[in-house]
């Protein structure tokens, strides 16, 4: 089977690549496009380290074929900061030490951003539920949850 040419948009930028049909989007991002910010933790959708947005929806890139990206918009961690300016979530995670080894962090940030975009005023339980698909073996989650709650409050204030 010949390689397939895919034209897609990643973090707002048009991009194209050649891939095999059996390649995952995660693999294409990391190996074809050099966007290694998205991580592979399990390859089977259980850990969330590979979280991206696909047309604005949070999803696991390890279970999407690269060819499915054709004509769609992909959002990765590399697009979260605006140039030199960190997203409020990124800044808050730093301030509140909501990360340790950092491998789950890109996925958690993408998931948290998606959560807040849908629900700008979540309860703590809603945050925990919304991030249930992102496993972390280091932090015990507490600081992550607090960072998301505080960012939500900050963003609501900025918006008002």
Partner 1 sequence: MNRFDYLRPASIAEAIAAAAQPGSAYLASGTNLLDLMKGDVVRPARLVDLGGLPGLDRIELLPDGGARIGARVRNADLAYHPEFSRRFPAVAEALLSGASAQLRNAATVGGNLLQRTRCAYFYDPASACNKRAPGAGCDARGGENRLHAVLGWSERCIATHPSDFCVPLAALGAVVEIEGQAGRREVPLEEFHLLPGETPERESVLAPGELVVALRLPAEAARFAAHARYVKLRERTSYAFAVVSAAAGLRIEQGVIAEARLALGGVAAKPWRARAAEAALAGARPDAASFRRAAEAALAEATPSGDNEFKIELARRIAARALALAAIGTPERLPALPASPFAPVPGAPLHG
Partner 2 sequence: MAETASATHVRHGSSIGQPLTRRDGVLKVTGQARYAADNHPPGMLHAALAVSSIARGRVAALDVAAARAHPGVVEVMTPANRPPLAQDPDDKNGPFVFRMEALQDDRVRYAGQPIAVVIAETLEAATEGAALLAPRYEAEAVETGLDASDVFIPQMVGPGAPAEARHGDVEAGLAAAERRVEATYETPAQYHNAMEPHAIVAAWEGDRLTVDTPSQGLAWAQERIAGLLGLPPENIHIRSPFLGGGFGSKGVISGPQVLGILAARLVGRPVKLVLRREQMYGPVGHRGPTRQTLRLGAGEDGGLTALHHHVRTATSRFDDFLEPAASVSHTLYAAPAIATTYDAVRLDTGTPLFMRAPGEASGSIALESAIDEMALECGMDPLEFRLRNYAEVEPMSGKPFSSKALRECYAQGVARFGWAGRPLQPRQMRDENGLLVGWGLGTATFPALMFQGQARAVIRRDGTALAETGAHDMGQGAWTALAQLAADSLGLEIDQVEFRSGDSRLPDAGIAGGSSHTATAGIALHHAGADAIAKLTELAMADQRSPLFGAGNMGVVARNGRLLRRDDESRGESYADILTRAGLAEIEGRGTGAMDPAVPEHYATHSHGAVFAEVKIDPELGQIRATRLVGAFAAGRIVNPRLVRSQYYGGMIWGVSFALHEQAVMDKCSGRVMNANLGEYHVPVNADVPSLEAILVEEHDPHVNPLGIKGVGEIGITGTAGAVANAVWHATGVRVRRFPIAIEKLLV
Residues of this chain that interact with partner 2 (CB under 8 A) are 20, 22-23, 27, 30-31, 34-47, 49, 76-78, 80-81, 83-86, 90-91, 93-95, 97, 99-106, 109, 125, 128-129, 131-145
**Any bridge partners for residue 53, and if so which?**
58, 75
The reply to whether 58 sits near partner 1 by the rule CB under 8 A is yes
- Least Å distance between CB 53 and partner 2? 14
**Any bridge partners for residue 4, and if so which?**
19
Residues in the chain: 160
Nearer to partner 1, 45 or 88 (CB): 45
Comparing C-alpha atoms, which of 112, 105, 151 is closest to residue 128?
Answer: 112
Sheet of 73-75, strand order: 13-19, 4-10, 73-75, 51-54, 57-60
Binding site for partner 1 (CB under 8 A): 1, 4, 20-22, 24, 43-45, 48, 51, 54, 57-60, 63-65, 67-68, 111, 114-115, 123, 125-126, 128-134
């Amino acid at each position: 089977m010949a390689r397939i040419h895919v034209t897609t948009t990643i973090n707002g930028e048009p991009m194209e690549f050649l891939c095999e049909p059996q390649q995952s989007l995660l693999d294409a991002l990391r190996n074809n496009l050099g966007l290694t910010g998205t991580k592979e933790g399990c390859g089977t959708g259980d850990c969330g380290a590979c979280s991206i947005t696909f047309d604005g929806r949070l999803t696991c890139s390890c279970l999407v074929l690269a060819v499915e990206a054709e004509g769609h918009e992909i959002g990765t961690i590399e697009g979260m900061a605006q140039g030199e300016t960190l997203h409020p979530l990124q800044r808050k995670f730093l301030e509140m030490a909501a990360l340790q080894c950092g491998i789950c962090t890109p996925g958690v940030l993408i998931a948290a951003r998606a959560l807040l975009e849908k629900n700008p005023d979540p309860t703590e339980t809603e945050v925990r539920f919304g991030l249930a698909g992102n496993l972390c073996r280091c932090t015990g989650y507490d600081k992550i949850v607090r960072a998301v709650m505080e960012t939500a409050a900050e963003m609501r204030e900025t918006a008002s």
